[in-house]
Structure 1
C-alpha cells in the first residue's frame, strides 16, 4: 500500500441529463436454463429507454453485475461463459477500461460475496471492497481491498464481529462505504455498518425501532445519508425516508418525508436530483397459461416537495424478466 495520500481533484461535469441504469436479467423459460443479462439505460428526464452497450461480450450463459457507479465510472463484475468472473472499472465517456485482477488469489474458496465500489474523498483514487466468508459455516467476514493507489489487492483482514449478515446493497459517501445488516431471529433490528477507505476502520450503529419498519435500504440524497423504513399491508405500502446525521458521534434520525404506494414490500429506487425514481416489477400470466407470463416494469418519479408521482415509462417483456439493480449515472471524465 502506497503512503501517498489520495490527490484532490476538480473535474468538470458535462451538463447532460442523468440516466437510471436498470441491470436486468432475462430468464427465457424456467425449463430452459440459458439466460442473458444486459443493462438498460433510461433517461430520467424524458423516460426514453435504450440498450446500453458494454465493453465486452456475453454469451447466453453469461451474466453481468453492476457493483457500483460513482463519479461517472462503472465497476463491473461479469462472467462471459463458464464459471470464471472478471472485474472491470470503466468510464463510458472516455471509453477507458481498467482490468482488475481477481481477489480469488487472496480468498480461495470464498462464499457469501459482497462487493462495494467507493472513491476516496475529494480524490481521483478509488477502492473496490470485497467482503467474503471462507466457508458456508463461517460466522465472520473477511475483507480484501483493491485500491487504484497501489494497483493491487491488499492482504485480507478479519472484520469485526458486528460485520455479519450483510445486505449486498450499499451506498458510498465521502470515502466511506455504508451497508445494512440483515436481522436474524435473535436480532430483530438491523444495524448500519460502515468502512472508511482512509482509516481502514469499521463502525456500526443501531437502527431505532421507530425508524426500521421493514427496512427498504440506504440512499443518498444531496450528499446526505438516508434510510427508508417500509411498512406494508397486502399490496400497499408506506415508505418513510429518514436522514442520518452525526454519523461518527451520536447518530440522530430526522424524518424527511413519507409516501404511499401500491405494490411489493420492496421496490428498487434511487434518488435523482432530489426526486425518487422507483421501478415496480410485476409478472402476470398471458391468457390462461400460467407458465407463460409477461413482465412489466413501472418506472415512476416521486417529487417529495410536491408530494406527487408521475410515470416515466412502462417497460414490458413477453417472458420472465427480473430486475437486479438500479443506478444513477452522470457522465464525467474521471480517469480509471
Structure 2
C-alpha cells in the first residue's frame, strides 16, 4: 500500500435554487438542523418565500381537525381535551400542549393559522397567559395577557390574524374598560412590536368578538347581532382590516336570513352558511359575500337539505364541508345521567354525498367548544 494520501478534489457547489428545492422535500428535523449550521442557511430557510413554498408542499400531505371538547361546568375546565383527527381518513391521534394544568387550570384555543396555535391558558386557575406555539418545530412564545394591562370590567374574547404576504401575525383583544363605557376598545399585539400599545376605539356596532371568526387577506370577519330589539335580533357581519385599522358593518340580506349562521372560507372567499331546520328536515344555503368599500354583493353559491336532525356546517375543507351533528340525551330513570353523540361528516356538494369521518360517544354531558383546521408548517412564533 502506498503512503501517499489520495488527492482530494473539491466537490462542485450546488446552486442555491437546487439546494432549496432539496430542502422543500426534506422533513422538519432536517430543515431545523440545517438552520443551526450557519447564519446564511438560517436566513434562507426562514424566509417568507421558503416557508410559504414549504407550507404548500406539506399541504398536499393532508391536514388535521382540532376539536376542543369540554364540560359545561366551569369547575371541570382542567379536564378539557383536544382531539386531533385526520381530515381525510378520520383517524384520531393524541395532541398534547406544552404546558401542564392543575385541577383549577383551564385553556382556550384562540385561533389556528399557518400552523401556529394561539392559546390562552392558566396552569393554576389564577394568572393567565397567551401562548404562540408551533407543534412541529416545538417553538413557543409566552405573551402577556392584556387582561392584566387594561384590567377591564368586560372581556370579549381574542382573535389571531396574519398580515398578508408576511410571517407576522397580530392578536386582537376587544374589551370594555367599565360596564358603563359607551363603546368597546380594541387592542392589538403584533409579533414584530411585541406589545399591546395599539388601542383603537370601536364603533357602536362592535359589541363583541365572536369565537367563530374567519380571517382573509389581513382582515377578520365575525358574526354578531343587534341587541336593541330583543324580539328581532338583526344579524350582521363585522369586518376589521389590519392594514387600515378600520371597521365595516355588513348587513345580512333578507333572502339569506335563517335560524342559525356560520362564517366560512371557500377558495379564498368569505362565505355565510345560513340554515333553517326543525325536528325532521334541514336546509342550508351557502352565500358568498364580496366585501367592497361600497355595498357588499351577495351571491348564493348552492343549497342542500336533508331528512334528519341538522348537520351544522362548521368549516370548508378544499371543496368539501366539514359538518357536525351534536346530540345529547338523558337516560330515563337515572338521575343526572347524560349521553353525548358527535357525528363528524365530510359533505361533497358537487356529488351530494356525505361521508362519515368519525363517530364518538361520551357517557356525560360534553360539548364541542371550538373546531379548527390545522396544517403543519415551520412558521416562526
Q: Same fold (TM over 0.5)?
A: yes
Could you tell me how far apart the structure 2 residues matched to 1:256 and 1:196 are?
A: 25
Give the structure with the larger strand fraction: 1
User: What residue number does 1:49 align with?
Assistant: 92
- Specify which structure has the bigger relative contact order, considering alpha-carbon pairs within 8 angstroms and separated by 6 or more residues: 1
User: What residue number does 1:170 align with?
Assistant: 213
The DSSP-based 3-state class of the residue aligned with 2:125 is coil
Could you tell me how far apart the structure 2 residues matched to 1:324 and 1:235 are?
A: 25
User: What residue number does 2:82 align with?
Assistant: 39
Greater mean deviation of Cα atoms: 233-242 or 271-280: 233-242
Work out which of the residue numbers 199, 205, 209 in structure 2 matches 1:156: 199
User: What residue number does 1:228 align with?
Assistant: 273
Deviation at 1:235, TM superposition (A): 4.9
Deviation at 1:290, TM superposition (A): 4.4
Q: Which runs of 5+ in 1 are unaligned?
A: 1-6
Could you tell me how far apart the structure 1 residues matched to 2:182 and 2:88 are?
A: 45
**Structure 1 residue 18 corresponds to structure 2 residue 60:** no
Could you tell me how far apart the structure 2 residues matched to 1:232 and 1:181 are?
A: 20
Q: Contact conserved, 2:106 with 2:125, CA < 8 A, in 1?
A: no
The DSSP-based 3-state class of the residue aligned with 1:106 is helix
The DSSP-based 3-state class of the residue aligned with 1:156 is strand
**Structure 1 residue 284 corresponds to structure 2 residue 329:** yes
The DSSP-based 3-state class of the residue aligned with 2:255 is helix
Deviation at 1:135, TM superposition (A): 2.8
Could you tell me how far apart the structure 1 residues matched to 2:143 and 2:174 are?
A: 16
The DSSP-based 3-state class of the residue aligned with 2:150 is coil
Matches within 5 A, 1:42-191: 42-186=85-229, 188-191=233-236
Could you tell me how far apart the structure 2 residues matched to 1:194 and 1:56 are?
A: 33
Greater mean deviation of Cα atoms: 181-190 or 218-227: 181-190
Deviation at 1:268, TM superposition (A): 5.8
Deviation at 1:326, TM superposition (A): 0.7
Larger-gyration structure (1/2): 2
Could you tell me how far apart the structure 2 residues matched to 1:311 and 1:294 are?
A: 20
The DSSP-based 3-state class of the residue aligned with 2:256 is helix
User: What residue number does 2:309 align with?
Assistant: 263
Deviation at 1:287, TM superposition (A): 5.6
The DSSP-based 3-state class of the residue aligned with 2:338 is strand
Q: Which runs of 5+ in 2 are unaligned?
A: 1-46
Deviation at 1:65, TM superposition (A): 1.1
Deviation at 1:177, TM superposition (A): 0.8
Deviation at 1:81, TM superposition (A): 2.1
Could you tell me how far apart the structure 1 residues matched to 2:75 and 2:145 are?
A: 26
Q: 1:183 to 1:214 in 2, by over 3 A?
A: farther
Could you tell me how far apart the structure 1 residues matched to 2:180 and 2:281 are?
A: 37
Q: TM-score, normalised by structure 2?
A: 0.80
The DSSP-based 3-state class of the residue aligned with 1:169 is coil
Could you tell me how far apart the structure 2 residues matched to 1:169 and 1:326 are?
A: 9
Q: 1:75 to 1:33 in 2, by over 3 A?
A: closer
Q: 1:246 to 1:102 in 2, by over 3 A?
A: closer
Give the structure with the larger helix fraction: 2
Greater mean deviation of Cα atoms: 17-26 or 120-129: 17-26
Q: TM-score, normalised by structure 1?
A: 0.90
Deviation at 1:33, TM superposition (A): 3.5
Q: Contact conserved, 1:268 with 1:325, CA < 8 A, in 2?
A: no
User: What residue number does 2:19 align with?
Assistant: none
User: What residue number does 1:248 align with?
Assistant: 293
Could you tell me how far apart the structure 1 residues matched to 2:268 and 2:293 are?
A: 16
Work out which of the residue numbers 249, 257, 261 in structure 2 matches 1:204: 249
How many correspondences in the alignment? 326
Could you tell me how far apart the structure 2 residues matched to 1:34 and 1:295 are?
A: 16
